[in-house]
A and B are shown apart, each in its own frame.
Chain A
Amino acid sequence: MIEGYFEIQNCAAAEIIEQISTALSPRYDVEPQTSGDAVAVTFYDSFDWRLFRAGYVLQKNAPPSGTQPALLRLTRLTGSKASTDRQAELPPGHTPGFAAELPEGPLADSIAPLLEMRTLLPSNEGHGRRVEIAIRNEDQKIVARLTLTQIELTCEEGQTSLAQLHCRPIRGYPKPFRMLEKTIRRLAAGAASDRGLLARGLFAAAGREIGSYQSKLDLALDPKMTARQALRHILLRLLSQMQVNAPGTCAATDSEFLHDFRIAVRRSRSAIGQFKAIFPPTERQHFSRELRWLGQITGPTRDADVYLLAFEDYRAMLPRERRDDLLPLKRFLRERQRREQRKLARALSSKRYEKFVADWHGFLTDEDTIWQEASLMPIRQLAGKRIWRLYRDILRDGALITAASPDEALHDIRKEGKKLRYLLQFFDRLYPQSTTRPLAKTLRNLQNILGDFQDYHVQSVALRGFADEMAEKRKAPSETIMAMGLLIEVLAGLQADARVQFDAAFAAFSGPATENRFRRLRGKKKRGAP
C-alpha cells in the first residue's frame, strides 16, 4: 500500500469532502480535523527545468506565520503512486536555493544529482487552505488519512481553483485506504486532473512556462533551407540564448547563466567562422569583433567559477591532512570571482552591449542586406562540406601526433573538434539520427580526453599564477603555497593520464565505421528520401 497523490481542477473543497464522505459511508466516517489552515504554496525549479525534465516538481507549503517550518515535497509528475515522493522540513526563514543548502535527507539526496551547480528559482506564490481529514471506522479509530489543499489561482482563462489530494494508508488497514483511493481516482477522472496542474499555473503566473528553456539547441532546421535562412535561424536562437541568460549572468544567480551565455557566444563565433563565405564581409568583421569582446569580458569570471566549482575535487586530490591548507585559495578565488563578476556585470549593462544586441538582431532579421552568393546554396550541401572538411583536418592532424608532439598540437585538435561538434549540433536535424548519434558519441569521447588534457594543463598554469600572486601579496601561509604545489603535481599526473588515453580515442574516431558515417553526411543523396 502506497500513498496516493492527485490534483483536481475546479471542484470546491467542501464538495470533494462531501463526495468522499458519501462514497465511504456508512462504513467509514470522513472527518475534517481542522477548519482549514492558511497555506502558501510555491514551486521551485532551476532555470533550465532540471527537476521537471527528470519528471519531478518541488513544492513548498508554508504556514502563513513564518515562524513555523515549511514543508518541502518532491513529487513525481507521472503516475499517481507517490512511492518515490520525498519530504523534508524547511526551517523558518529559509528558501530553497542550491542543493547543498537544502535540509539533509532523502529529498536533498534526490535533488542534488539533478540540480548540480544550479540554484532553485521560485514560481509565484499560491494562497489557499489546507484541511487534514481523518477516515474513521466504527470504533472511531483512524484508518486512513487525507490532506486536501485548495488553491485559488488567476490564470489566462480567469480564476480557477485547484485541489491537491494526498491520501495515506494506516498500517494494517488496507481496505478503507483502497476505498478512499478509488473514490478520489474517480473524482479526479471526472474533473480535469493532472499532477502538474498547480505547478504549471504558478510558474506561468511568474512568467515562466515549464520546460521553456534548455541549454541544448535542438534547432528545427529544414534541409530545403538556404544557407542564409539556416544561419539566421541558428544565430537568432543563439542571440536569444544570450539575452535569456544575461540577467542571471549579471546577477550571478548561479554559475550556469554565465556558462550558457558564453557557450552561445562561442557557438555564434564558430558558426560565423565556419561559414565566412556567405556573410557580407564588413558586417561579419564587425560582429565577430563584438562577439570576441563578449568572450573576453566573460572569461575571467568563468575561470574563477570553474576553480570554485572544482574546489572540492581539488581538496580530495590532496592527502587528508593537507586538505584544509587549501582553504585560503578558496578565499582568494572568491575575491577574484567577485571582482571579475562586478566588471562583467558592468560590461553587460553597457551601451556597447545594448547596441550589439540591437544591431545583431537587426542584421539577422533584416531582409534587405545583401549576403554573399554562397548564402543561397542549400544548407545541407554546405554543412556537409564543412563537416567533412573539419573531419579530414582532425584526421590529418591527429595522425601526426606522437609521444614527442608538443601539448599545443593536441590543443589544436581539440579546437577543431569543438568546431566540428558545434556543426553536428547545429545540423543534427538535417541527417538521420542513426548516423549523427554514433558520430556525436565518438567525437565526444575524443573531446573529453582532449578536454581533460587541456583543462588540467590550463589549471596547473593558472594555479601556479595564483600561487605566485598569493605569495607576493602575502595572502596565504607557506602551507597553502605548498599544498597548491602538490595539487599542481597531481594535475600534471592527470594530464599525463589523459594523454595516454588519446591514442585509443583517436583510433576509434579515425576508424572505418566513423568514416562511413561522415561520408554519408557529405553524400548529396539523402537516403530514404522520396
Chain B
Amino acid sequence: MQIIASYSIKGGVGKTAAIVNLAHVAAQAGARVLLWDIDPQGAASFYFRIKPRVKGGSRQLLRKRDPDPAIKGSDFERLDILPADFSYRYFDLQLEEAGKPRRRIGQILDPLADQYDIVLLDCPPSISLLSESVFRAADALLVPVIPTPLSARTLEQLVTFSGSAKFGKAEILPFFSLADRRKKLHREAMNELPAQWPGLFLETVIANSSIVEQMGIRRSPVSAYAPSSPPAKAYAALLEEIILRLAAKAKTSD
C-alpha cells in the first residue's frame, strides 16, 4: 500500500484538484484506491458528493484505529472515500492528547493495507502536528507549485524541513499547478525553479484550465466528465510519473 499526500503550506494551489483526479485515474487503471479527505473543509468529499461526516470524528479514528465503518464507496469502481469531518479542525489537539502524535496517521491507515493499493491524502494548507504526522506516514508528498517566485520560498522551507530527523521517508514531488504559459512570470519560474532543484520537479504540468474549474459544478473528477480532455490526460501522466519515481526510490533504497 502506497501512501501519497498532497501537501502545500499555501492554500488554493490545486492540492484537492490533483488528489481527486489522481484518485479517479488510478482506480480506472485498476488500482484499489482510498482517498482520505483529511481537510475539515471537505472539498474532496464534496467533489465525490459525499457528506463530510465521520461517526465519532477524528477522536474515534485515533482511539479505535479502525477507519473501516466510516469508508464510503464512490460512484466509481475500486475508488472509496474516507470522508472529511468537522472535528478534523481539532486534529492537532487530539494528536497531542493521544501521545506519539507523529505516528498516529500511519497507525490509522495500517489496518487497510490488504484492502487498498494506494491511499491518497488531501491535506489542509498548514504546518501543524497533523501535517508532520502525514509526512511520517507518507511515501510521497505531492506538492503543487504555482509558477511564481514566491512559490520558491515555500518550497525551500519544505525541502529544508525534509532534511530534519522528524520528517520521515517521504519523497518530495513538486509539480507546476495552475500554470499559465501566456504569463511571462510563469514561464520564467518554470525555467528557474527546476534548475534550482535538479531532478526534484515532476515534468508533468497541470495548466490552468476551465475544464478543471468545472469540477465544482459537476461534482466529479475531470476524467469522469471529460475523459479525453488535456487536463484528464495530464493527471494520468502525473500519476504515471509519481509511480515511476516511487519505484525508482524503492529500488535505490533496496
Give residues in A with beta carbon < 8 Å to B.
134, 139-142, 170-173
Contact = CB atoms under 8 A, between A and B. Distances in A.
Interface string B50-69: 11000000000000000000
Nearest to B46: A139
A171 B32 CA distance: 14
Nearest to A134: B75
Nearest to B69: A172
B72 interface: yes
Contact of A172 (B49, B72, B219): B72
Nearest to A142: B75
Nearest to A141: B49
B80 interface: yes
Contacts of A140: 49, 219
B216 to A, nearest CB: 14
A140 B219 CA distance: 10
Contacts of A142: 75
Interface size class, chain B? 10 to 19
A170 B76 CA distance: 10
Contact of A141 (B70, B75, B80): B75
B51 A139 contact: yes
Which of B51, B72, B73 has the most A CB atoms < 10 Å from its CB?
Answer: B73
Contacts of A134: 75
Contacts of A172: 70-73
A173 B72 contact: yes
Contacts, number: 24
Contact of A171 (B49, B51, B80): B80
Contacts of B49: 139-141
Given A141-B49, A141-B50, A171 B72 contact: yes
Nearest to A168: B73
Contacts of B71: 171-172
A90 B49 CA distance: 34
B23 to A, nearest CB: 15
Report, nearest first, the 8 A-B pairs whose CB atoms are least far apart: A172-B72, A171-B73, A141-B49, A170-B73, A142-B75, A139-B49, A172-B73, A172-B71
A134 B73 CA distance: 13
Contacts of B51: 139
B113 to A, nearest CB: 17
16 contacts: A134-B75, A139-B49, A139-B50, A139-B51, A139-B219, A140-B49, A141-B48, A141-B49, A141-B50, A141-B75, A171-B71, A171-B73, A172-B70, A172-B71, A172-B72, A172-B73
Interface of B: 48-51, 70-73, 75, 80, 219
A277 B72 CA distance: 77
Given A139-B219, A170-B72, A172-B71, 9 more contacts: A140-B219, A141-B49, A170-B73, A171-B71, A171-B72, A172-B70, A172-B72, A172-B73, A173-B73
A139 B50 CA distance: 8
Contacts of A171: 71-73, 80
A83 B75 CA distance: 22
Which of A170, A172, A173 has the most B CB atoms < 10 Å from its CB?
Answer: A172
A135 B70 CA distance: 20
Contacts of B73: 170-173
Contacts of B80: 171
Contacts of B72: 170-173
A305 B51 CA distance: 63
Nearest to A169: B73
A171 B73 CA distance: 5
A171 B71 CA distance: 7
A34 to B, nearest CB: 15
A134 to B, nearest CB: 8
B78 to A, nearest CB: 11
Contacts of B50: 139, 141
Nearest to B83: A172
Contacts of A141: 48-50, 75
B202 to A, nearest CB: 32
Nearest to B70: A172
A141 B52 CA distance: 13
Contacts of B70: 172
A129 to B, nearest CB: 22
Which of B70, B71, B75, B219 has the most A CB atoms < 10 Å from its CB?
Answer: B75
Contacts of A139: 49-51, 219
A171 B75 CA distance: 10
Contacts of A170: 72-73
A96 B49 CA distance: 41
Contacts of B48: 141
Nearest to B50: A141
A253 to B, nearest CB: 37
A322 B122 CA distance: 56
A230 to B, nearest CB: 61
Which of A139, A140, A141 has the most B CB atoms < 10 Å from its CB?
Answer: A141
Contacts of B219: 139-140
Contacts of B75: 134, 141-142
Nearest to A139: B49
Contacts of A173: 72-73
A172 B219 CA distance: 19
B82 to A, nearest CB: 10
A371 B181 CA distance: 104
A170 B72 CA distance: 7
A28 to B, nearest CB: 14
A194 to B, nearest CB: 30
A134 B49 CA distance: 14
B56 to A, nearest CB: 14
A142 B76 CA distance: 9
A170 B49 CA distance: 14
Nearest to B81: A172
A171 B83 CA distance: 13
A99 to B, nearest CB: 26
A139 B81 CA distance: 16
A140 B51 CA distance: 12
